[in-house]
Amino acid sequence: MSGYPEYMQASLKKVAATRPARLEKAREGREVVKAMTLAEREEVLNKFHPDYLPDARKPVRVGPNNGEEMTSRVVDLLESYPRINPDDFDLSEPDYDTDVLIIGGGGGGCMAAIQVANAGMNAVLATKLRVGDSNSMMSQGGMQAAVNPHDSPTIHYLDAIGGGHFDNNPELVQAMTMDAPRIAAYLEELGVMWDKDSEGRLMTESGGGTSRRRMLSCRDYTGAEIQRVLRDEVKNHPDKITIVEYSPAVELLLDEAGEAAGALLYNMETGEYNVVRARTVIMSTGGYGRLHIKGFATTNHYGATADGLVMAYHAGTKLLYMDSVQFHPTGAAYPEQIVGFLITEKVRGLGGQPVNKEGELFVFPLEPRDVEAAAFIRESTERSLGIETPTGRVGVWLDSPIVNLLNGPGTIQTALPAMVRQLKRFGIDMTSEPMLVYPTLHYQNGGIEINADTQTTLAGLFAAGEISGGVHGRNRLMGNSVLDYNVFGRRAGHAAVQRAKALGDRPPAKLHMDHVRAYRKELEEAGIPETSHAPILLPEYRNPEVLKKHRKDYDPFLGEFI
Amino acid sequence: MRSRRVGCIYLDIKRGAPIITAMEEKEVEVKEPAQEKASDENPKENLIPVFIMGKRFFVPESFTIITAMEYVGFQFKNAVGCREGFCGACATIYRLEGDYKLRTGLACQTVVEPNMYLAQIPFTPAVKAVYDISKLKPELVSIQRYYPEVFRCVACNSCTKACPQEIEVMDYIQAVKRGDLETAADLSFDCIMCGLCAVRCPAEMVQHNIALLARRLTGRYLLPRSHHLEERLAEQREGSYEKDIEELMGLSRKGLTKRYTERDLDFEVF
């Protein structure tokens, strides 16, 4: 039985009718349709990528990047007032005193914490939800690492920097691609079960924009497998790592020299604020998908609200490429309950093809993500060859049944169990019918500027993972984010240990939040009205009709009376 | 009206809380959702009643538990995570009106049903052994040492029935007991560690943590090593590729663009 409504059946028949010819072509080689030239890529991006819409960007009026154009929603967030008043807090008696404070309990934070513990130092790992709750947990497709004989870190470097439109920081790409094989081995030693053949060869697939098969995977639970192992390892060091859950940081704390030396945590359960003093701080709070930029649905975790970006900016840390948003080409577009959910790029890596309403393969399936996404939008809008959903959305088909025809029966079931399970829950059998997809907000390409040691422009503050910028230029390739948080999480851990050691027996810092006062003053002087506050911590999904019935002097956002 | 065969517990929706009204199997009358829609108490069409922690709310019938709770005004500060079925933060237990069966699910992956009585389980109290993976052997004894309760399993299959991922939980526990860690790792691989198995287990095991240890031992010790990876690491220890990458780093944007567009595509692995 079909999982799709009656009116879509005619289009589905066309997809099935063109499948044998498309399969034939795919068997001949990978280039089922000619890939775009750089000029063609630029054209489709300029006309159809959401980053290039007229009001997509605007200049930010405060902070270290003053005057620079950024994604409009990000500017609104950076131009929001701090959610706390520094005068309300006594910072002289910290609740936690530690060597390294790690803010964010996803992949990057866990990786860093393990390094700190292994070096014999203490860490506080503060996180908004539970340890491991993060986008890291959700990545499906894989992690790039040049491990095959015909591949090399050099080719990986070229792929990554070309995919990023040559805007990547070369030093960071070097660190990432050269560290990759070592990270694969390191994770294996921790017990991560990479997909391997019976002789131990790592299974590799290709992804958008890669010129070799370089994607290591753990079925399509790659992120979950890595993250649950890292989380377990963090919990194996209870004497060194203090985990503080449900306690997001709301502002950084600086020392007398203006260097990062702690943070103010907000215990969401009890409402109290706790002071953490540390010799050094690692920021790894992840990205911003839950800002729903341009109204797009997102693949991101509930906690992805750019809190760390805001805090670091308040403290004077410079950001990079905050004008560039990654929309993943294949978010689910039907049924409504799973709109925006990630359909892993691995489907296309295994031979899945994007086809339009008429059953035509309209774009090379593995263009870099931004190009592929823009091509989907072009097909659905300008060319009107998308498929409308009952709720008024539009999407294109991602022909998945072809994967089994191409690679042998059972491939989908073995390689993509998470996808099969998820779609089955909502009535779609991806082994027999295609999926309906449309671009979805996926990744923060830019972020806090760092060097290869993850040092930010603020002394004492390191940053790792999606929160950082420069690694991926203006477009990240599949499998490089899992690699990113592992490589730079590890490097951040090492760098923080070095700094904490170098500070030696320096007396404990006298903490302050003068930067927060200064930031507020800057906002006021720029004439920006106090209509919103940040970091936002939680996305607002409550029914507006219910919020209307709240007390008027109660701010549901701040969770307090005003 | 339609009937549903039930066991010993009958949920009385009029009182808004589950009560035991019958101790033996019998047929009870259950309202059709369609009739519920038309009832006077229901303000809007296509809204259905669900009972969140015993309290009745009306929610759109196509919503998942998470979105339905947000619809009626809840803001999640826990018991929510990735919202896509990968993190296990939103474990939920529920019963349907007139049905004895205690059901389990993920709130982000389960669509509401009329007269569903639900409670979320944001946290599962569970023993988590502290160990140094590099000092363990990939054998049953390692698991036995930290989780001796694995031998208390009575093979009741409650864990398997509770699993929202449809994992054969009991089967992997049996594999652990046989010392077959690789099979246990394979069978448990899609586990998202929501803990619903551990909540339902009469032997009071923590299946998800046992499986995690089995997988880590398998990944580290039992899967064959990749020679290609070892060779690559050896090459890199010798300093291979450093010069090549530095050369690329030294190129102008134009030079780099040329190298990028001229790079060959090669997807034959070996």
Domains and CATH numbers, chain A: 6-52+326-442 (3.90.700.10), 81-324+445-503 (3.50.50.60)
Check CB contact of A505 with chain B, cutoff 8 Å: no
Q: How far is A190 from chain B (nearest CA, A)?
A: 6
Say if residue B105 is in the same domain as residue B181: no
CA distance A520 to A79: 10
Contact B190 A425 (CB under 8 A): no
Say if residue B181 is in the same domain as residue B73: no
Residue B206 lies in a domain: yes
Q: Which of B120, B145, B172 is the last residue of a domain?
A: B120
Q: Which of A202, A426, A538 sits opposite B75 (nearest CB)?
A: A538
The tens digit of pLDDT for each residue in B10-67 reads 333 333 333 333 333 344 444 443 433 334 444 445 899 999 999 999 999 999 999 9
Q: Provide the pLDDT for residue B268.
A: 75
Say if residue B55 is in the same domain as residue B143: no
| Mutation site, B182, B257, B269, B270, interface A, largest A CB count within 10 A | B269
Measured distance between the N- and C-terminal CA atoms of chain B, rounded to whole angstroms? 65
Q: Which of A154, A224, A540 sits opposite B244 (nearest CB)?
A: A154
For chain A positions 6-25, those within 8 Å of chain B (CB to CB) are none
Say if residue B112 is in the same domain as residue B211: no
In A85-240, at which residue ranges do the beta strands (DSSP E only) sit?
Answer: 96-103, 123-126, 143-144, 215-216
CA-wise closest residue to A514 among A255, A302, A277, A288: A255
Q: Is-contact B162 B200, C-beta < 8 A?
A: yes
Chain A residue with Cα closest to B123: A130
| Cβ-Cβ contacts under 8 Å, B72 against chain A | 543, 546
Q: Which residues pair with A320 in a beta bridge?
A: A447
SS (H, E, C) chain B: CEEEEECCCEEECCCCEEECCCCCCEEEEECCHHHHHHCCCCCCCCEEEEEECCEEEEEECCCEHHHHHHHCCCCCCCCCCCCCCCCCCCEEEEEECCCCCCEEEECCCCECCCCEEEEECCCCCCCCCCCCHHHCCCCHHHHHHHCHHHHHCCCCCHHHHHCCCCCCHHHHHHHHHCCCHHHHHHHCCCCCCCCHHHHHCCCCCCHHHHHHHHHHHHHHHHCCCCHHHHHHHHHHHCCCCHHHHHHHHHCCHHHHHHHHHCCCCCCCCC
CA distance B265 to B263: 7
Q: Provide the pLDDT for residue B117.
A: 98
Query: In this structure, how many other beta carbons lie within 10 angstroms of the beta carbon of residue A211?
Result: 18
Contact A158 B257 (CB under 8 A): no
Structure-block tokens of residue A428: 């779609």
Say if residue B26 is in the same domain as residue B109: yes
Domain that holds residue B98: 2-120
| Cβ-Cβ contacts under 8 Å, A336 against chain B | 62
Largest CA distance in chain B: 81
| Cβ-Cβ contacts under 8 Å, B70 against chain A | 541-543
Catalytic residue among A348, A472, A490, A499: A348
Q: Provide the pLDDT for residue A556.
A: 60
Say if residue B69 is in the same domain as residue B105: yes
C-alpha triplet B47, B52, B58: angle, nearest 5°: 15
Say if residue B9 is in the same domain as residue B104: yes
Check CB contact of B133 with chain A, cutoff 8 Å: yes
Instruction: Please report, for the domain that includes residue B198, its CATH number.
Output: 1.10.1060.10
Does residue A506 carry a catalytic annotation? Answer: no
Question: How far, in Å, are A65, A445, A480, A528 from residue A70 at the CA level?
Answer: 9, 12, 23, 17
C-alpha triplet B146, B147, B148: angle, nearest 5°: 105
Residue B234 lies in a domain: no
Interface confidence (ipTM) of the complex: 0.95
Residue B45 lies in a domain: yes
Structure-block tokens of residue A83: 């959610």
CA distance A366 to A386: 19
Q: What value does the mean pLDDT take over residues B201-210?
A: 97
Q: What pTM does this model have?
A: 0.93
Q: Which of A148, A194, A556 sits opposite B269 (nearest CB)?
A: A148
The tens digit of pLDDT for each residue in A403-442 reads 999 999 999 999 999 999 999 999 999 999 999 999 999 9
Residues 6+ apart with CB under 8 A from A352: A365, A398, A399, A400, A402, A403
Contact A236 B131 (CB under 8 A): yes
Q: Provide the pLDDT for residue B21.
A: 32
Question: How far, in Å, are A106, A167, A468, A502 from residue A451 at the CA level?
Answer: 21, 15, 10, 19
Type and span of the H or E element at A493? helix A480-503
Q: Which residues pair with A58 in a beta bridge?
A: A70
pLDDT of residue B4 exceeding 80: no
Residues 6+ apart with CB under 8 A from B92: B65, B104, B105, B106, B107, B110, B118, B119, B120, B121
Contact B219 A213 (CB under 8 A): no
CA-wise closest residue to A219 among A482, A435, A413, A442: A413
Contact A157 B245 (CB under 8 A): yes
Counted domains in chain B: 2
Q: Provide the pLDDT for residue A535.
A: 97
CA distance B193 to B173: 15
Contact A171 B185 (CB under 8 A): no
Residue B268 lies in a domain: no
Check CB contact of B46 with chain A, cutoff 8 Å: no
Residue with more model confidence, B5 or A46:
A46
Residue B25 lies in a domain: yes
Q: Provide the pLDDT for residue B269.
A: 64
CA distance A151 to A181: 11
Instruction: Please report, for the domain that includes residue B48, its CATH number.
Output: 3.10.20.30
Does residue A328 carry a catalytic annotation? Answer: yes
Decide the pairing of beta strands A461-463 and A273-283.
parallel
Residue B179 lies in a domain: yes
CA distance B53 to B62: 20
**Residue B221 C-alpha from the chain's centroid:** 26
Q: Provide the pLDDT for residue B37.
A: 38
For chain B positions 10-39, those within 8 Å of chain A (CB to CB) are none
Q: How far is B251 from chain A (nearest CA, A)?
A: 10
Chain B residue with Cα closest to A229: B216
Say if residue B157 is in the same domain as residue B209: yes
Q: What is the identity of the amino acid at B268?
A: E
For chain A positions 460-499, those within 8 Å of chain B (CB to CB) are none
Structure-block tokens of residue B34: 């369609």
Query: In this structure, how many other beta carbons lie within 10 angstroms of the beta carbon of residue B255?
Result: 12
Say if residue B146 is in the same domain as residue B43: no
Q: Which of B81, B242, B244 sits opposite A301 (nearest CB)?
A: B81
Residue B263 lies in a domain: no
Check CB contact of B264 with chain A, cutoff 8 Å: yes
Q: Provide the pLDDT for residue B266.
A: 86
- The secondary structure of chain A in percent helix, strand, coil, rounded to multiples of 5, reads 35, 20, 45
Say if residue B83 is in the same domain as residue B139: no
Residue with more model confidence, B196 or A562:
B196
Say if residue B188 is in the same domain as residue B115: no
Q: Which of B193, B217, B264 sits opposite A211 (nearest CB)?
A: B264
| Cβ-Cβ contacts under 8 Å, B194 against chain A | none
Say if residue B7 is in the same domain as residue B105: yes
Q: What single DSSP character describes residue A196? A: B
Q: Is-contact A158 B248, C-beta < 8 A?
A: yes
Check CB contact of B64 with chain A, cutoff 8 Å: yes
Decide the pairing of beta strands B17-19 and B91-96.
unpaired
Residue B83 lies in a domain: yes
CA-wise closest residue to A345 among A220, A225, A482: A220
Q: Which of B80, B216, B269 sits opposite A213 (nearest CB)?
A: B269
| Cβ-Cβ contacts under 8 Å, B232 against chain A | 146-147, 181
Which residues does chain A have with pLDDT short of 70?
A: 30, 554-562
CA distance B56 to B257: 62
Q: Provide the pLDDT for residue A554.
A: 67
Q: How far is B221 from chain A (nearest CA, A)?
A: 8
Q: Which of B120, B149, B177 is the last residue of a domain?
A: B120
Length reported for chain A: 562
Q: What is the identity of the amino acid at B40?
A: D
